A and B are shown apart, each in its own frame.
Chain A
Amino acid sequence: MSRQEEMLEKWQGEVFTYVIGAKKEEGGTRGSVVKAGGEKTLPFLDKEGFFPNTAAVALEILDVPPADWPEELVAAYGGVTANPLEWADACVRKFGAELLCVRLAGAHPDAGGRMPEQEAAFLSKLAAAVNVPLIVRGCGDDVKDNTLLPLCSEALKGERCLFGSASQDNYKTLTAAVTADGHGIIAESPIDLNIAKQLNILISDLGLPLERIVMDPTIGALGYGLEYAYSIMERARLAALSGDRNVACPFICFTGQETWKVKEAVAARADFPHWGDKEKRGILWEAVTASALLQAGADILVMRHPKAAEEIKKYACHR
């Protein structure tokens, strides 16, 4: 036995694999599927075990033109963000997205309050317009989401999407809906591993198997608490590999959402001349945040800038 072999860790457990998207033969209409999770060791330690699946990179779109996105982010899509279906099409065809995350921001009471029926119809059109697997997120208002998401879940029945988000205070309605319609769920916890674990148990107690849960540990961008998220993800993953099934779900990280609101990504060059080119800076901030999260064990990265997504894909495939 060589010295090096003696140092290698042997893990008992593994991360569950959640397959997003269902093709025709499985009752869906997706042209491809994305497998998230399945790791048998820590990220990038390929001598200790296998990572059967590359980390997935999703581009994020909204159901309405983005109101609060910085202009260079909007400009990166060349004007299509005014029409969400064209936007989705550009993500897939022009930027090669393997996975699309749509946030139903327009349903929020403060953002126009689009009706659940309207959103469900939009999702049906979206599913017809693009054939990549879908992640669907509510508007973030619990009361609205509890009427909105069940209808949306039903509209996409059989497509095996990922729906979010469930939280410790609001998980029952969404869990029931996705269980019935064959989707998976995003379980969101506030940078707190104890709550993350508890939420997984609560959701699985309602009858949705742990294998259909993806954890959102809540992340911060580089410089904004990224290290807290990192250490929680690392601890959860160590426990999962040691056999704790209740934290053995894949991670989803909303890197775009967190990055494109921090000063370093959006501040004008005129305000901080020594920070350099604004567009490059934002892309780099998102890509660097995402790469750190890959090291922490992220399985799905939801990103906003197509250039940052393109860069991170080159790194993710080495995992």
Chain B
Amino acid sequence: MGLLSISLLKLARRPASWVVLAILVGLIIMVFLGLAASVGQLEGMGDELQVRALLGFPTAYVTVVGFILGFGGLLAVVYAAAIIGADWAWGTIRAIVARGESRVSYTLITFLAIVIMLGVGILVAFAVGALSAVLAAEAAGLGSDGATDPDTLAGIPELLGRTWLGVSQQAAIGFAIAMLFRSQLAGIGAGLAFYFVEQFLVLVPLAGEVLPYFPFNVAGSVVATAGEFGDGFGGLVPLDSDSALLWSVGYLVLALAIATLGAWRAQITQ
């Protein structure tokens, strides 16, 4: 069995993988239930139009993807940090290195396995989210005819691909931090702190000029119309999705370079 296959097996057998997915799927279902319920209550108010826009197809697909990029990205930071951080905290990396395995290969293959698991998670979450959106739209009396629009369906692979990149980029940040600190908790804590500090920096005067280029904002901008959820906060204007794509790739590569350099140089004393 190759290192990638065994890394996937480790992740598939790890309860954390399924707990994280369950949290994401659960949140998405609850959000759509909430949106469906709120349509009736907001009747005649300005917010009703916005909620209808979120639930109506084909926009609802982007709504689902927006949640995955937002909640899912945050969970991906935690997940990736937990996976690589555990190798240090539990000392399992010691046995791997002592067998003569390349630290760089191990780091990259572990991240690749995480990315594959994230891909599976995104597919599951999108499927559940789309189904929830259909049910919510029907319950709200909006109908779901647009869900099967051929043009919309043709665009879903790209939508999911961009989402996968955005979520993976966010995971790479948690991964790199956990690798540098050689700790699960440090990776999770610092990753989340980084995420929230970036979100609240929008309140700092003039920060809006540079914030769209910050890693988590970049990740949230890789899908063109996902801005219904994330942008606009504090007047922040997101990057256009194609620029965000390039920046996202850049951050992903940078985070992996930092992680592999950290692994390569580390003196393993745990």
- Are A and B subunits of one complex? no
